[in-house]
Amino acid sequence: MTHTIRWNLHGITKINNREIKEAARFLRDGMTVAFPTETVYGLGADATSKEAVAKIFEAKGRPADNPLIAHVATKKQLEALVDNLPESAEKLIDAFSPGPITFVLPSNGTCAENVTAGLSTVAIRIPDHPVAIQLLKEVDIPIAAPSANLSGKPSPTTADHVWMDLNEKINGLIDGGTTGVGLESTVIDCTGEIPIILRPGGITMSQIEEVVGKVLVDPALANKSEKPKSPGMMYTHYAPEAPLWLIAGSVDKLQEIIGYQQQSGKRVGVMASDETANALQADQVVKLGSSENLTQVAINLYPGLRSFKQATIDLILCETFSEKGIGQAIMNRLEKAATKYVK
């Protein structure tokens, strides 16, 4: 068990404050510190130290073959980790960094091998959050940071979420308030001729196309009608405490399924747009925001998934959303979290 120090920087953004300096010292000493970014909270450690990075995997219970993102404050620091910077990456960095986008690039071996899971590539991003940027500038080494949740759980958008998952498992936590985007960064592989989106996120496909022209999407993401090769994968990503069913279709269909499940003795929770939620009755109803405002739905998604407790809810139903813009990332996370998709 580890004592977890919690620093409160909620609303404080002054450079060089005592808490940032102390957190940076923790990181330089090989310890783990969770910190806010504009997407979700990350759990950081010195990306150049195998021992420090091992503590991240241990605290999260993360499988060792899932590589981490190295976080840096500047383009220059990013360049120090790569073999060469492909033209597409250069353009995208200039357009969107700092911001919610991660670049998969040829590694020059500076990051420890457990950051890259032994791959020849390294994922790097420059977060757009005052606390993260100040911390990264102060520490002046690349910081490996996956989302600061227990492996398999929804990513944390508040310091309390991190605390619930990782208290006494990590050395420090900087509370910088609620994160902005609410979903993780877009991960884009820039090592080939044409960039490939590996994970949809904060920067949308059409924003990327505007900068580099043609973009591909990882076929595993595009081919949704195909069953995932490993069904276990469905249970281990972004999963709430109760099983989640994704329901495509009308409000009436959703209400019918709620009624049917309640009759069989289940306490049913629902997550839906404001419009749909207002028309439904269930044991717990979580409004995610207007279906016309997917930016808000993205912000409310993970806190929504975390709000259903096993003690009170047996089954969660969630409606589907348009895949336009950030909707692509919303649907990607919901499909991964869901144990069943009723179309």
Minimum distance, C-beta of residue 191 to ligand TXA, in the bound complex (Å): 9
Out of 102, 273, 276, 320, name the contact with ligand TXA by CB under 6 A. 102
Q: Is the Cβ of residue 302 or residue 321 nearer to Mg ion in the bound state? A: 302
Q: Is the Cβ of residue 55 or residue 287 nearer to ligand TXA in the bound state? A: 55
Query: How distant, in Å, are the alpha carbons of 79, 81, 96, 124, 257 from that of 75?
Result: 6, 10, 11, 10, 51
Continuous H helices in 7-158: 18-28, 50-60, 75-79, 87-96, 113-116, 130-139
- Which amino acid is located at 237 in the chain? H
Q: Is 69 left (phi over 0), alpha (psi -120 to 50) or beta?
A: beta
Q: Is the Cβ of residue 139 or residue 272 nearer to ligand TXA in the bound state? A: 139
Interaction of residue 88 with ligand TXA, rule CB under 6 A: no
Interaction of residue 273 with Mg ion, rule CB under 5 A: no
Interaction of residue 97 with ligand TXA, rule CB under 6 A: no
Interaction of residue 204 with ligand TXA, rule CB under 6 A: no
Sorted by sequence, the CB contacts under 8 Å of residue 295 that are 6+ apart come out as 326
**By the 8 A CB rule, do 302 and 155 touch?**
yes
What backbone phi and psi angles, to 5 degrees, belong to 101?
A: -145, 140
User: Which of ligand TXA, Mg ion, none interacts with 145 (beta carbon under 5 to 8 A by kind)?
Assistant: ligand TXA
Q: Is the Cβ of residue 117 or residue 279 nearer to ligand TXA in the bound state? A: 117
Out of 33, 123, 136, 173, name the contact with ligand TXA by CB under 6 A. 123
Q: Is the Cβ of residue 43 or residue 247 nearer to ligand TXA in the bound state? A: 43
Minimum distance, C-beta of residue 116 to ligand TXA, in the bound complex (Å): 5
Out of 55, 199, 306, 333, name the contact with ligand TXA by CB under 6 A. 199
Report the distance separating Cα 252 and Cα 254, nearest Å. Answer: 5
Report the distance separating Cα 179 and Cα 218, nearest Å. Answer: 27
- Tally helices (H) and strands (E) across the chain: 13, 16
Tokens of 52: 């420090």
Counting residues that bind Mg ion (by CB under 5 A) gives 1
Angle (CA) 34 38 44, round 5°: 25
Q: Is 118 left (phi over 0), alpha (psi -120 to 50) or beta?
A: left
User: Which of Mg ion, ligand TXA, none interacts with 98 (beta carbon under 5 to 8 A by kind)?
Assistant: none
Site string for Mg ion, 133-152 (x = CB under 5 A): --------------x-----
Interaction of residue 198 with ligand TXA, rule CB under 6 A: yes
Report the distance separating Cα 171 and Cα 155, nearest Å. Answer: 19
Report the distance separating Cα 15 and Cα 33, nearest Å. Answer: 18
Minimum distance, C-beta of residue 143 to ligand TXA, in the bound complex (Å): 10
Q: Is the Cβ of residue 89 or residue 187 nearer to ligand TXA in the bound state? A: 187
Window contacting ligand TXA (CB under 6 A); options: 179-187, 218-226, 232-240, 269-277: 179-187
Q: Is the Cβ of residue 39 or residue 77 nearer to ligand TXA in the bound state? A: 39
Per CB under 6 A, residues contacting ligand TXA are: 37, 39-40, 42, 66-69, 100, 102, 104, 116, 119, 121-123, 125, 127, 145-147, 184-185, 187, 198-199
Contact residues: Mg ion, CB under 5 A: 147
